Amino acid sequence: MRRTGALALLGAIAHGSLAASESLPRGVGPEFVKFFESKTTFTCIGNPSITLKASQVNDDSCDCPDGSDEPGTAACANIDPLSPEQPLPGSVTGTTNTTAALPGFWCVNAGHVGSYLPFMYVNDGVCDYQLCCDGSDENTHAGGVQCENRCDAIGKEYRRLEEQRRQNKERSVKKRRTLVKESRELRRRVEVKIANLKTEVRDLDAKKAEMQAKFDEVERSERGKVVKSEGQGGKLGVLVALAKSRVNELRNTLDKVTDQRDDLQDKVDQLEDILTKLKEEYNPNFNDEGVKAAVKAWEDYAAGQPSEPKGDLADSDIMEVLKEDSETSGINWAEFETGEASDVDVVYNWEAYLPVPVRDYVHQKLNLLRVWAIENGILADNPTSGGESRLVTAAREARDSATNAHSVKLGQLEEEQRELEKDYGPDDVFRALKGKCISGEAGEYDYELCWFDKTTQKSKKGHGNTNMGNFVRIDKEFVDEEERLDGKGLGKGQRLVLRYENGQGCWNGPNRRTDVYLGCAETDEVWRTVEAEKCVYRMEVGSPAACEDVQEPGVPIKNEL
Ligand code: MAN
């Protein structure tokens, strides 16, 4: 037996343990028993026109073109697509184009699992325990070989590992169910978000329409303004001009008063110095009543002064008030002076103080009147030359901001809708893994998989990271790989494959891409990564999300999971 990996081959055993009856020729598998029941003759399975004597079965001579007369020897082992070309003895077609009727030598393997062994390994002097644990493949003891029956021990180990595998599978499937539940919750949240966003978008849409209507209305009414009678800005403009000149007047006066105050303070300081000197230097022995009275008066004055100056206006505060009005300090008069439609503003603002139904009514009537007046040439149609009134600007800004808010929300809604429709695999199970990353090392790199995002090659030597592809879709592929002892393998069957494409460009080649093959496992793990061809990577990854759940569709998941 040349194949290796005990458990790899144990996995290939799949024919049940039905033992062939004692009276049957050696090597006949359960499904071929019916062809060997006659005690006197044998008809070639694939060539019913050829009938042999029963004694020709297993006589170590290949008599049937399909080799069916030698189930227990290697005599017909050459009927194999790999054998050299030759006309087969008795070939009805006269060519080598004949296939063997039997899949191999049947090892009963009592105590374990029956299995077929390729005929070429029958009586080749090697005990093929991996497929034939009962040693029945070496009955002629070629080269003196004696194959003991090891089925008890091998069967026991096989059952132990099978049980372990079954338990692992059970735990993995439970974890998958948890993931499905999490995904369902995440999906529910997205649905709630979408419902809320839809309401918000609807409201914003209405608001947008309202703002548009308001803008149209304001623009229309502004065009019908009364020609102004009191210079730029109408009455409000006059008021603004008066206020500005009055403020300037007050500022100038304050400036002058402040100068006077400073002059007076200087004088007081000088006089206080003179009197302080007089008090310190006068001769009290000269009985000069005038001097004495002056000193006494000074002492009384000084005693009456507060030790701290009280509540004086700080110079900095005065300077601040004295600063010229501009855009950055005081009042920005320019803002009020450029307004064009002040009379209408006043009217408009005045309307705002009315109860809503009255205001709307008055406003509507006024507008109608204006429009009628314009249409009949009574009022000038007053298109803005260059600028526009603050009312129109405000209405325009309100409309633009409503339009903007609407389109931002609509964008969010569309993004969430795309998210909901995305393919997250069977039962939506991968939704719960989105955004999570796992990695595993191979050679000089760490390889990172971020679910539904990207794959990355990270140099262990600090040479930076390389994008190996961005997620595009989920596919399915058939794989046929040997079972592994540690269970970290894809095995055989349809497997989910995540495609990551359009990664970083490969020098002199295409953009990098990664195929992520998924196998069932209890935990998320990158099992191995290989560069199958230059810049085309293959990752094999275990995850409970990749397990098959045998649960009937529609059966609710139990709560304890
Ligand atoms: C880097 C790595 C390799 C890749 C080469 C291609 O060394 O990304 O995986 O094969 O670039 O030049």
CA 557/CA 561 separation, integer angstroms: 8
> What sections of 326-480 are H helices per DSSP?
333-337, 342-352, 356-375, 390-421
Per residue, what are the HEC states of 67-120?
CCCCCCCCCCCCCCCCCCCCCCCCCCCCCCCCCCCCCCEEECCCCCCCEEECHH
Residue nearest to atom 9 of ligand 1 (CA): 535
Asked whether 453 lines ligand 1 (CB < 6 A), one says no
Structure-token pair, residue 185: 């919750």
Amino acid letter, 105? F
Cβ neighbours, 10 Å, residue 244: 15
Q: Which residues pair with 493 in a beta bridge?
A: 479
How are the residues of the chain apportioned to helix, strand and coil, as percentages rounded to the nearest 5? 45, 15, 40
* DSSP SS3 for 493: strand
Q: With the CA atoms of 113, 118, 122 and 128 taken in that order, what torsion angle do they form, in degrees rounded to the nearest 10?
A: -50
Closest CA to 313 of 384, 262, 239, 249: 262
| Residue 115 pLDDT | 95
Q: Which residues pair with 396 in a beta bridge?
A: none
| Residue 351 pLDDT | 58
Closest CA to 61 of 26, 89, 103: 89
CA distances from 544 to 422, 434, 454, 518 (A): 20, 14, 20, 9
| Residue 34 pLDDT | 96
Asked whether 466 lines ligand 1 (CB < 6 A), one says yes
Closest CA to 340 of 395, 400, 386: 386
Residue nearest to atom 3 of ligand 1 (CA): 535
pTM over 0.85: no
CA 373/CA 269 separation, integer angstroms: 73
Asked whether 156 lines ligand 1 (CB < 6 A), one says no
Q: Does residue 20 contact residue 28 with C-beta atoms inside 8 Å?
A: yes
Cβ neighbours, 10 Å, residue 208: 20
CA 346/CA 366 separation, integer angstroms: 14
| Residue 312 pLDDT | 64
CA 29/CA 551 separation, integer angstroms: 34
Amino acid letter, 186? L
Asked whether 534 lines ligand 1 (CB < 6 A), one says yes
Amino acid letter, 559? N
CA of 471 to the centre of ligand 1 (A): 20
Q: Does residue 327 contact residue 334 with C-beta atoms inside 8 Å?
A: yes
Going residue by residue through the chain (561 aa), what tens digit of pLDDT does each one get?
A: 444 333 333 333 434 333 345 589 999 999 999 999 999 999 999 989 999 999 999 999 999 989 999 999 999 988 755 444 555 555 555 555 567 899 999 999 999 999 999 999 999 999 999 999 999 999 999 999 999 999 999 999 999 988 998 999 999 999 999 999 999 999 999 999 999 999 999 999 999 999 999 999 888 877 766 444 444 555 566 677 778 777 887 888 888 888 898 889 889 889 888 888 888 888 888 878 888 888 888 888 888 887 776 656 777 778 877 888 887 777 777 777 655 544 545 544 555 566 666 766 666 666 667 656 655 666 655 544 456 777 788 888 889 999 999 999 999 999 999 999 999 999 999 999 999 999 999 999 999 999 999 999 999 998 999 999 999 999 999 999 988 888 899 999 999 999 999 999 999 889 999 999 999 999 999 999 999 899 999 999 999 999 987 664 454 444 333
What is the CA 214 to chain-centroid distance, rounded?
A: 41
Closest CA to 297 of 325, 320, 272, 262: 272
CA of 461 to the centre of ligand 1 (A): 14
Residue nearest to atom 12 of ligand 1 (CA): 507
Q: Which residues contact 428 (CB under 8 A, 6 or more apart)?
A: 180, 183, 184, 187
CA 316/CA 278 separation, integer angstroms: 35
Asked whether 468 lines ligand 1 (CB < 6 A), one says no
Asked whether 535 lines ligand 1 (CB < 6 A), one says yes
Q: Which ligand 1 atom sits closest to the C-alpha of 534?
A: 10
CA 143/CA 123 separation, integer angstroms: 9
CA of 449 to the centre of ligand 1 (A): 17
| Residue 108 pLDDT | 97
Q: Does residue 511 contact residue 490 with C-beta atoms inside 8 Å?
A: no
At 445, which helix (H) or strand (E)? strand 445-450
CA distances from 211 to 181, 392, 402, 535 (A): 44, 11, 7, 55
CA of 11 to the centre of ligand 1 (A): 37
Closest CA to 52 of 32, 38, 33: 38
What is the CA 82 to chain-centroid distance, rounded?
A: 51
Q: Which residues contact 108 (CB under 8 A, 6 or more apart)?
A: 17, 19, 20, 114, 134, 136
447, 459, 466, best to mutate for ligand 1 pocket (most atoms within 8 Å of CB): 466
CA distances from 270 to 114, 180, 273, 276, 384 (A): 126, 93, 5, 10, 64
